[in-house]
Amino acid sequence: MTVTAKAGGDGASANTAGPLAGCRVVELGGIGPGPFAGMLLADLGAEVVRVDRPGRADEPDAGGSADVLNRGKRSVVLDLKQRESAAALLQLVESADVLIEGFRPGVTERLGIGPHDCLARNPRLVYGRMTGWGQDGPLAAAAGHDITYIALTGALGAIGDADGPPQVPLNLVGDFGGGGCYLVIGVLAALHAAARTGRGQVVDAAIVDGTAHLLASTFAKLARDEWTDERGVNRFDGGWPFYAVYETRDGRHVAVGALERKFYRSLVDLLGLDVDPDRQHDRSHWPELRQALVKRFAERTRDEWAELFEGTDACVAPVLSLTEAAAHPHLATRGSLFVRDGVVQPAAAPRFSATPSRPGRAAPAVGADTRAVFRDWGVRFPE
């Protein structure tokens, strides 16, 4: 078998704070939503052991401060295609509370580490599965990425200007919103059930399911005829002039979200617009209103508008870049983002009063903790 151990593992990288302190998680190495879920669990205090294939150790982006999705974890390398390595993983599973994996349906079963194999070793185990299409259905075995998953749910088709193509919302809606976050929700719920019943279970987290679930409010509005099944004409897609983005004199932008009447009045007053605030929802007035907003916001720079609206109820904020966001006074005061070794990254979220969570150390080198994990978990290291 191939088991790689590298120097650098200190055996103490687990986060001992947070509400999940004492929970052991085995994460089978993958990309995107699976590692994000593992990072979130680690931030919450779980001891997360990521199991990677041997070849990943040579990839330049593996480990270190820039490998944010793998912070707070310990790293083991096993060649799970070899029977002895799969057997070693099952020994780790016996001491784990959770296993998460992001392979296509059937892969872990063929490796001998599927739900049946793992639950036979540890009946209390929560077996979390992260896929795009789910474990069944016509597309279950097909390849895909965030953009194709959210396309099928209707989410992608609803985002963008009325006269333009759908706009890709990074990979926040699918991979991380509908995927990784829902995997964590499922894992936490299953852990609660296991504590009550003594029985673990399989969590089938599919990006298409999670993304569809995120659209609950939108589908409700559609059913009440409060949403038009088109882009750029609705309340939250920029279709309403007082919930939209406007360009400023310096070519930057501000975001306006003055939906409620009193917030809209504040917006109109601070801008000094010659419009009747009581006509806020008079759609015949909207083309005129939008042009007035376009003209007025073009008169000053983004930062000048930000200074004017700071702390008011007009619901206007500057549109910041990723690098600017960390320096904003509100985010800086809360520590929502922090810098480690020159890498801007998010702090742990959400926050807890009694069991505060924190981000763990930077991701170790791949395989750095192999021997230490086997020792600490009381499993014989396979020679």
Q: Which of the residues are catalytic?
A: 145, 175
Query: How many other CB atoms are there within 10 angstroms of residue 162's CB atom?
Result: 13
Q: What is the CA radius of gyration of the chain?
A: 24
Backbone angles phi, psi at 340, to 5 degrees: -125, 120
Tell me how far apart the terminal alpha carbons of the chain are, to the nearest angstrom: 8
- Residue listed under structure tokens 């209390």: 124
Among 381, 375, 368, 359, residue whose Cα is nearest residue 10:
368
Let me know: does 80 contact 113? Beta carbons within 8 Å.
yes
Count Cβ atoms below 10 Å from residue 136 Cβ, excluding itself.
11
Compute the distance between CA of residue 30 and CA of residue 368 in angstroms, rounded to an integer: 18
What whole-number distance in Å separates Cα of residue 351 and Cα of residue 361?
18
Rounded Cα–Cα distance for residues 223 and 131 (Å): 29
CA distance 178 to 126: 19
Q: For residue 365, give the DSSP letter.
A: P
**Are β-strands 3-4 and 73-78 bridged in parallel, bridged antiparallel, or unpaired?**
antiparallel
Q: Are 46 and 23 in contact (CB under 8 A)?
A: yes
